[in-house]
A and B are shown apart, each in its own frame.
Chain A
Amino acid sequence: MNYRQTTRILRSVLTHAVVILLGYVMIYPVLWMIASSLKENSEIFASASLIPRVPSFEAYVRGWKGVGGVSFATFFGNSFFYSTMATVGTLLSSSLVAYGFARIRFRGRAFWFTCMLLTMMLPYQIVMIPQYILFFKLGWVNTFAPLIVPTFFGQPFFIFLMIQFIRGIPLELDESAKIDGCSRFTTFRHIIFPLMSPALVTSAIFQFYWKWDDFLGPLLYLNRPVHYTVSLALRMFSDPTTSTDWAAIFAMGTLSLVPIFLIFMFFQRYLVEGITVSGLKG
């Protein structure tokens, strides 16, 4: 082994060591939460060790009982219902709108497109109060409607993502469909929509996972424990004044992350593409 090889190997080992060490620091809090969910309460704050003395799932049983007499089965059911419906709404409406913007030249298109881009920069706080008043007057508070219905009217971020994707689909497809006598809607429904599936999957992943994590929306509109989503329930569950069963809190916290981890594991490629293409927030 000559000098150059030695320094190269040394450098590689050193880089790996730095990356692993830093990675461990990054991931440690999450591992600690998972480990703590398997510990007894008395053990959690006695040592920083990640390995439970006697691993037990008792905290999961205690936590599952939930808050206010409502179990986490209900909260998970609510979260799944709300996130799925919002995702369906977003995909159906946003794909339609994206096709309109991407493929049809109509008067006022540039103007409305600019309007749409501008709304992406608006802070939610500016519409939060009037929207609440609107839904309050409609009698929709304490239902899932205020959280789901707006997603059926297109979401600018996803429309934008889909437009970018449609622009990559050859225009000849639309033209030959037109010659074959397809209407615009048939062309969209049978040709473009199926071809958009990578963009649809990317959007579905992001929308589901944002809605799953959403806290402010459910906090505003859902006030009864039977309606709580997992996020809301976790917050109530961990209220410092009512509970100190940290093992149970961490157990439910760990469970709440499971759907997100599963999505990440199965759709990593789409997620990474979605982030790098659109330059999303985190």
Chain B
Amino acid sequence: MTSVTTRYPSRERRTRLRDTLEGYAFISPWLVGFFAFTFFPILASLYFAFTDYDLLSPPVFTGLSNFRALLRDDLFWKSLGVTFQYAFVSVPLRLAFALAVAMLLNMNLRFVGFYRAVYYIPSLIGGSVAVAVLWRRIFMKDGIVNMILGSLGIHSEVSWIGNPRTALLTLILLAAWQFGSSMLIFLAGLKQIPRSYYEAAHIDGANPFQRFIHITIPQLTPLIFFNLVMQLINGFTIFTQAYIVGGPSGDPMNSTLVYALQLYKKAFEFYQMGYASAMAWVLLLIIAVFTALIFKSSYLWVHYEAKEG
């Protein structure tokens, strides 16, 4: 008897040890990758941020000088401003389009599957270089946009991508054009709102606008919240479209010089790895602050079903 009672816990402990070993064996690919490609690189990046490093000679510790240089660098501030403008205009615009079209397609329409596909296609191909090249061409002086405006009687001789005042706008439009993924998410969300809510509101005499404000929006806030966080991060790190539409130097007159582009140039054109690492850390801090702000504020505006029950 005693042998049974003493063997029991030890067998349990053995299986627990076995589970732990097996668990680590299964996650080991990620664990190794995490240390090799994320954790140590982050530490290295933190170290480089305080050094002068040109890739060929060893890094030289310089303390805070990269950060001081950053604060005095006009291009750093310019790129920060361009990125904020881009993110804070394109993300809300994209979400608004996504919601509007999702509501339109949520009506009982024939061919709705086909329409959904048509609206999703720009997002499907939006990340490709082909579309960025196309976009650049569309907004040139003799491009299709001016051609269409001309046929409507609005004669414009400006090159949209060549004008510092409108170049960023073309990038924002490109982002807004690709609202498809958010639209699909909103569409799925809309389908989950119980019809009875709308019927009850209808009986109470609420008009369509009131129903939208008091039922649709609150029910979608968890999705809006999630989309806002993810797209803001994407917006802050936009690179490919800017590189191709505005060109590698952020032309004209740095009007499309987004943050990631400036960082890339510092690292891989000027080989100022330390300075670029400092920029990467500033970017990380900015993203962390905004993500935290959205998370903190979510208690005020994100509506979860569980709270009501």
Contacts and interface: CB of A to CB of B under 8 A. Distances in A.
B280 A19 contact: no
B44 A130 contact: yes
A280 B181 contact: yes
Given A93-B29, A112-B27, A119-B34, A26 B129 contact: no
Given A125-B263, A127-B41, A260-B125, A45 B143 contact: yes
A215 B19 contact: no
A99 B240 CA distance: 34
A260 B63 CA distance: 47
B29 A281 contact: no
A282 B181 contact: yes
Contacts of B273: 129, 133
Contacts of B223: 279
B130 A282 contact: no
Contact of A16 (B38, B109, B126): B109
Interface stretch (B72-80, B204-212, B229-237, B299-307): B229-237
B181 A275 contact: yes
- Main SS at interface, chain A: helix
Q: How many B residues are at the interface, by size bracket?
A: 35 or more
A28 B108 CA distance: 25
29 contacts: A20-B115, A22-B104, A23-B115, A23-B119, A30-B131, A45-B142, A97-B26, A106-B21, A106-B24, A108-B20, A121-B233, A123-B236, A125-B280, A125-B284, A126-B41, A127-B41, A128-B280, A129-B276, A129-B280, A130-B42, A154-B29, A159-B30, A215-B240, A253-B131, A264-B121, A264-B124, A268-B117, A275-B181, A276-B188
Interface of A: 12, 15-16, 18-20, 22-23, 26-27, 29-30, 32-33, 45, 47-48, 93-94, 96-97, 99-101, 104-109, 112, 115-116, 119, 121-134, 136, 150, 152-154, 156, 159, 184, 188, 210, 212-213, 215-216, 219-220, 230-232, 234-235, 238, 240, 246, 249-250, 252-254, 256-257, 260-261, 264, 268, 272, 275-276, 279-282
